[in-house]
């Protein structure tokens, strides 16, 4: 026996605590009408999780609570506790020998569920009971007036009752849960696919941006490497040229110093000569003036070299900027031109047709782009041109001054040459001093010319070094510190080899082209783009994995649902065969012959034709037997789900359908079917609430015999008025109702009574 006790407190008519102990395989509950004995069956439904208050003969949850009487106040809650013997592990998931299930309903309609005193969810109770084939409204609880329910139900409801009785409810529940999970999975798949569709355009855009960044990075690496080689080679060249020119300057500078000293000595000799005349004074004066003139000319020449270097640098800047401006993505437009375009678009606000407004805006924008498609001058170009203008003005002044000095120098040289010729004609030995002065001055001119060339070359190298340093700073800004780490390459160069300046010029041109391509690639914000792309790609990959997992889960759920359907179908068909065997036996026992069985049929549904179908058939019509057109039927048939049909054939009667059975015959048939179902898959207990009310004395004995047979496999709780049924009970509970309207229990154990009687 699995049932141990049922405890009621405040439930319906049971105002005070009442306990029923189930110590016998058959327990009878008797009492007059209205005493509350059917409340015991409803207490079973209640504690087992019944959610329909209507099936418990109430409208609200508080209708199940003792409402009080004149002698006592009403209860605040209804409490029912059902205790099972779990020593044979009726509930395999609980490792206790005794399992108690409690349910409490409060006045505010709130419910509480407890398992062995611990609060749980209704779902937990249902799952636990389902594992033991027990339910709130299953085949094992047949209340008064519901014995005929399995016969009056439609074929689909009847199938559900039989599936529940066969223990297939747990598989149906798993199938239902799997279908819900499948629906949620498909919904999640749609959401993930939608998210991937949203991410895809942005990911494609970012991928293109990343490709641009990667191209820019490749160009930057190429530019960095080229910079390093260029800087190393150029530094080598500049260093060697500077060292060479510096070394070459030492000899002429030393000679110039020696000549200056010799000239000074010759001048002193000339000044001390007794035969000094005005020609000697003229030689000294011209030499001094010519020296100052040439020094001034050298100074102006160096200044002109500096100005030309700056002008050349600014012109390179302008050329590079204009080369960029030839490309559309680098073109600029003046703010005033944009403002004029916006002002021109203002009258379009009066247009009400969106399409016309859009077309007009597109037309105006195209005209604006066409108008400003030419190369525009940027502020950088303007500043460079302004600087060139200032430098050219200064250069012109310096050139004019240089020409004046050169003219003055030519005049002095002419006077100097004339004086030299005059002195040469004189054979006086006293003129040796003047001749020495002329010789020294002639050599000075040669050395000075050599020095000027070397110094100009050195100045060019110094200017090139400054340009190299500016390029070094620019490279560090464009490509980072790696671009200027040229020392290792410089140390590896062959310093004894010759320098190919043409190749270096080609390298410089390649550098300029790479810089322009790098600017075109738009490498700005590359780190942020790469980061966003990685994050977006990771999100898309995550969604792809999620979709793959969901697809696998969907396939697994579909496979599980298919397996459950196959198992339900297989066990259902096997169960129907077993039920039909028992159903036939019980039917013959109840009616003394005949035949009864359950058959699987498919429900037929009807639907009304659509307006299109009706119109088509009305126009086409159908040709009748008399050759006239007839309209098609209004409805057409369609197959529905499978169900169960009850087929009976009574002995000695031509009765083959349930509709032709009398009330008593229906009662016997339903009892035979219910007992047959119970024999195939015996539940732990069966509650029969006055299912024998419609039986006569002869059939009551048959009913009682079947009860004894059933009690061998299930505990029976019988609510009855039938004396024959009462006689088969081992324990009998009497339900009475006092003046206060509350139900009370009296009990008698027949087995103990027999012992006492003996």
Neighbour tally for 399: CB within 10 Å? 13
- Average pLDDT over all residues of the chain: 80
Q: Which residue has the higher pLDDT, 151 or 424?
A: 151
Full DSSP string of 76-138: SEEEEEEEEE-TT-SSTT---SEEEEEEEEETTS-EEEEETTEEE-HHHHHHHHHHTT--TTS
Q: Which residues lie closer than 8 Å to 673 by C-beta, 6 or more apart?
A: 150, 151, 579, 583, 586, 596, 598, 646
Residues 164, 158: Cα–Cα separation, whole Å: 10
| Contact status, residue 68 vs residue 76, Cβ threshold 8 Å | no
| pLDDT tier for residue 629 given thresholds of 50, 70 and 90 | very low
Q: Which residues lie closer than 8 Å to 176 by C-beta, 6 or more apart?
A: none
pLDDT, residue 424, reads 62
| The pLDDT of residue 241 is above 80 | yes
Neighbour tally for 349: CB within 10 Å? 8
Taking residues 704-729, report their average pLDDT. Answer: 87
Residues 226, 224: Cα–Cα separation, whole Å: 5
Residues 688, 500: Cα–Cα separation, whole Å: 115
pLDDT, residue 711, reads 86
Q: Which long-range contacts (CB under 8 A, 24 or more apart) does 270-276 make?
A: 270/433, 270/434, 270/437, 273/430, 273/433, 274/430, 275/428, 275/430
Output helix, strand, coil percentages for the chain, rounded to the nearest 5.
Answer: 65, 15, 20
pLDDT, residue 649, reads 86
pLDDT, residue 625, reads 45
| pLDDT tier for residue 181 given thresholds of 50, 70 and 90 | very high
pLDDT, residue 145, reads 63
Taking residues 478-503, report their average pLDDT. Answer: 73
pLDDT, residue 611, reads 59
Taking residues 374-396, report their average pLDDT. Answer: 75
Taking residues 282-309, report their average pLDDT. Answer: 78
Taking residues 6-14, report their average pLDDT. Answer: 92
| The pLDDT of residue 275 is above 60 | no
Helices (H), 426-525: 432-479, 487-492, 501-521
| The pLDDT of residue 295 is above 90 | no
For residue 84, report the phi and psi dihedrals to the nearest 5 degrees.
Answer: -115, 150
| The pLDDT of residue 22 is above 70 | yes
pLDDT, residue 548, reads 93
Percent of the chain surpassing pLDDT 70: 83
Predicted confidence (pLDDT) per residue in 641-668, tens digit: 788 888 888 887 776 677 777 777 887 8
Q: Which residue has the higher pLDDT, 564 or 325?
A: 564
Residues 433, 426: Cα–Cα separation, whole Å: 12
Q: Which residue has the higher pLDDT, 102 or 700?
A: 102
Q: Which region among 98-102, 200-204, 377-381 has the lowest average model confidence (pLDDT)?
A: 377-381
Predicted confidence (pLDDT) per residue in 698-716, tens digit: 888 888 888 888 888 889 9
Predicted confidence (pLDDT) per residue in 435-458, tens digit: 777 788 788 888 888 888 888 888
| The pLDDT of residue 276 is above 60 | no
| pLDDT tier for residue 499 given thresholds of 50, 70 and 90 | low
pLDDT, residue 431, reads 60
| pLDDT tier for residue 138 given thresholds of 50, 70 and 90 | low
pLDDT, residue 277, reads 53
| The pLDDT of residue 230 is above 50 | yes
pLDDT, residue 377, reads 55
pLDDT, residue 118, reads 93
Taking residues 153-164, report their average pLDDT. Answer: 82
| Contact status, residue 56 vs residue 689, Cβ threshold 8 Å | no
What's the full length of the chain, in residues?
758
pLDDT, residue 700, reads 85
pLDDT, residue 20, reads 93
| Burial category of 58 from C-beta neighbours within 10 Å (exposed 0-12, middle 13-18, buried 19 and up) | middle
Q: What is the dihedral angle through the alpha carbons of 148, 150, 151, 156, rounded to the nearest 10 degrees?
A: 150
Prediction pTM value: 0.52
| pLDDT tier for residue 136 given thresholds of 50, 70 and 90 | low
Query: Bridge-partner residues for 77, per DSSP?
Result: 106
pLDDT, residue 429, reads 46
Q: Which residue has the higher pLDDT, 510 or 431?
A: 510
| The pLDDT of residue 630 is above 60 | no
Q: Which residues lie closer than 8 Å to 418 by C-beta, 6 or more apart?
A: none
Taking residues 628-635, report their average pLDDT. Answer: 46
Q: Which region among 382-386, 401-405, 492-496 has the lowest average model confidence (pLDDT)?
A: 492-496
pLDDT, residue 334, reads 63
Largest Cα–Cα separation, the chain: 189
Q: Which residue has the higher pLDDT, 318 or 3?
A: 3
| The pLDDT of residue 81 is above 90 | yes
């Amino acid at each position: 026996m699995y049932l141990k006790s049922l405890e009621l407190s405040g439930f319906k008519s049971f105002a005070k605590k009442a306990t029923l102990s189930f110590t016998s395989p058959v327990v009878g509950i008797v009492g007059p009408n209205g005493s509350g004995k059917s409340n015991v069956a409803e207490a079973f439904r209640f504690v087992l999780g019944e959610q329909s208050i209507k099936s418990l003969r109430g409208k609200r949850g508080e209708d199940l609570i003792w409402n009080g009487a004149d002698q006592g106040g009403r209860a605040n809650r209804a409490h029912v506790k059902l205790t099972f013997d779990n020593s044979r592990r009726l509930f395999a998931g609980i490792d206790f020998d005794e399992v108690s299930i409690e349910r409490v309903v409060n006045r505010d309609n709130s419910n509480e569920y407890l398992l062995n005193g611990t609060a749980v969810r209704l779902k937990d109770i249902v799952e636990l009971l389902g594992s033991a084939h027990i339910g709130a409204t299953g085949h094992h609880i047949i209340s008064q007036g519901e014995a005929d329910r399995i016969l009056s139900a439609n074929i689909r409801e009847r199938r559900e009752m039989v599936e529940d009785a066969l223990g297939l409810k747990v598989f149906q529940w798993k199938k239902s849960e799997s279908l819900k999970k499948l629906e949620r999975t498909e919904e999640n798949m749609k959401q993930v696919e939608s998210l991937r569709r949203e991410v895809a355009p942005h990911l494609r855009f970012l991928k293109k941006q990343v490709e641009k960044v990667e191209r820019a990075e490749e160009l930057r690496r190429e530019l960095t490497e080229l910079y390093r080689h260029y800087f190393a080679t150029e530094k080598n060249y500049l260093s060697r040229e500077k060292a060479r020119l510096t070394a070459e300057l030492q000899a002429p500078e030393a000679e110039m110093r020696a000549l200056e000293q010799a000239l000074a000595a010759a001048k002193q000799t000339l000044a001390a000569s007794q035969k000094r005349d005005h020609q000697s004074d003229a030689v000294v004066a011209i030499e001094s003036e010519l020296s100052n003139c040439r020094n001034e000319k050298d100074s102006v020449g160096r200044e002109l070299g500096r100005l030309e270097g700056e002008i050349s640098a600014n012109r390179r800047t302008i050329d590079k900027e204009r080369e960029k401006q030839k490309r559309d993505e680098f073109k600029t437009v003046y703010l005033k031109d944009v403002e004029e375009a916006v002002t021109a678009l203002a009258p379009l606000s009066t247009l009400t047709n969106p399409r016309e407004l859009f077309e007009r805006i597109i037309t105006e924008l195209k005209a604006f782009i066409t108008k400003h498609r030419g190369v525009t001058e940027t502020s950088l170009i303007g500043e460079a041109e302004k600087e060139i203008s200032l430098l050219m003005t200064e250069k012109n002044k310096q050139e004019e001054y240089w020409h004046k000095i050169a003219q003055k120098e030519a005049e002095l040289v002419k006077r100097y040459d004339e004086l030299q010729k005059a002195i040469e004609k004189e054979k006086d030995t006293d003129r040796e001093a003047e001749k020495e002065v002329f010789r020294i001055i002639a050599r000075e001119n040669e050395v000075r010319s050599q020095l000027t060339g070397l110094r100009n070359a050195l100045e060019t190298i110094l200017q090139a070094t400054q340009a190299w340093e500016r390029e070094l700073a620019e490279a560090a800004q464009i490509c980072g510190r790696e671009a200027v780490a040229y020392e290792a390459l410089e140390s590896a160069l062959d310093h004894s080899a010759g320098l190919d300046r043409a190749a270096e010029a080609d390298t410089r041109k390649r550098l300029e082209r790479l810089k322009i391509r790098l600017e075109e690639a738009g490498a700005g914000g590359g780190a942020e783009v790469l980061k966003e792309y990685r994050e977006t790609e990771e999100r898309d990959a995550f969604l792809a994995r999620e979709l793959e997992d969901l697809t696998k889960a969907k396939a697994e759920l579909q496979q599980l649902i298919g397996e459950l359907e196959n198992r339900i179908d297989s066990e259902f068909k096997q169960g129907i065969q077993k039920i039909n065997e028992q159903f036939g036996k019980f039917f013959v026992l109840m009616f003394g012959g005949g035949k009864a069985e359950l058959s699987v049929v498919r429900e037929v549904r009807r639907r009304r034709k659509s307006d299109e179908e009706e119109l088509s058939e009305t126009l086409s019509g159908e040709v009748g037997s008399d050759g006239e057109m007839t309209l098609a039927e209004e409805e057409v048939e369609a197959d529905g789900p499978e169900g169960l049909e009850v087929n009976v054939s009574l002995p000695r009667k031509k009765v083959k359908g349930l509709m032709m059975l009398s009330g008593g015959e229906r009662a016997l048939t339903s009892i035979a079917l219910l007992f047959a179902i119970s024999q195939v898959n015996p539940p732990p207990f069966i509650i029969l609430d006055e299912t024998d009310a419609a039986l006569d004395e002869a059939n009551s004995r048959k009913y009682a015999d079947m009860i004894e047979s059933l009690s061998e496999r299930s505990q029976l709780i019988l609510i009855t008025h039938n004396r024959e049924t009462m006689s088969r009970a081992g324990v009998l509970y009497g339900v009475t109702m006092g003046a206060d309207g509350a139900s009370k229990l009296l009990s008698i154990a027949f087995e103990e009574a027999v012992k006492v009687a003996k």
